[in-house]
Structure 1
Amino acid sequence: MQRTLVAILFSLVSAHAMSQTPTQFIDAAREGLALQTSANTAAWHLGEEENWAADLDAGTLVFTFANGTTATAPIQVVGTYNQDDGTFLWGWDHPSVPEPLRTHAQLAKAWGQQNGVADFTTRQVECSEDEAWSFAAVANRLGGGNGVYRGPAGSTLVFMTLGTVTLAKAKH
């Protein structure tokens, strides 16, 4: 079922994606992500959170702000970037990522296969953090995400796409 859903989703975006070169598609994905990030920063103060917590069982990410407000979003895990050795491990074959949270990463892999871009089809890639942002931007664009969050976990950075964000005010 999960693989069928990925195939259906990919077919919906592939026609437009195929009209661009891989470089053009990645650049457009990065531009779109920059716009989403600006909108999220303005709307709910992304980047100003005091804390974040991902629940991979629930498939959610919760941001907590100083005034007690929370922002909650469903997530997909694109992958993890290891700052110590400069490698990115894709979420589509990551031992810590539950199957339901791999869809956007799987879309990126399918895009990489169709476009002959090995960095999207190789389980672990040596790259820069900036390139990891490009991987996440492509997954976000293909999956119709509402942005990307890069959560630090020690020397590892977890790249996640965001679904619809729900805000809740602190209860006094």
Structure 2
Amino acid sequence: MTTTRTATAREPAEPALGPSRYPLPLPGWDGLGVTARVEPGAMTTLRRLRRGDVAELALAILDREVVPAFVGADRWRTDERGRLDARGTFVRVGPACSPGAMEVLGRRWALTEGVDARPGTRIEVAGTLDVTGGDRAAQLSRTWRVRSWRRYAPGRAGVPLATLPSRDDADPAARYVVDLEPV
């Protein structure tokens, strides 16, 4: 029987950078799940997926803060709302004008905004992990199993969902997230 572990951040509520927040290095990716926000543009495609379904999905880091990482091992944390705190290496996956990607323990995650860094530079990123589309993100897509869906309205706890609502029925003020595990 395989045991699934999910890395989740509890406090502080917003991602924070720095070597003291998560002092222990990430042990590896075996069985480690992630939580990603669903962008409104991806809702139509993902609406057909239910718990246990397997799909090829592209996830990208919507980076809010990027700083050089001078010390510390790779790390990866997502909380129940898809907020991210990670440390890894900046890499290019396309032309020099592309935003690039972040490599954490051998896995590459697309960045949505350009980073002013040379390939091979160690960086820390605080932001969100989003289910996205597009050519660049598709280069880094992987096969994932859907574990659960949730809706977060402002100031409220997460509400479990059987599936995503249609784009027309979705609450525009709410955020939708999906828990995924690698296949």
Higher RCO (CA < 8 A, seq sep 6+):
2
- Fold agreement, TM-score > 0.5: no
The structure with more strand, counted as a fraction of residues: 2
TM-score, length basis structure 1: 0.28
What's the TM-score once normalised by structure 2's chain length? Answer: 0.27
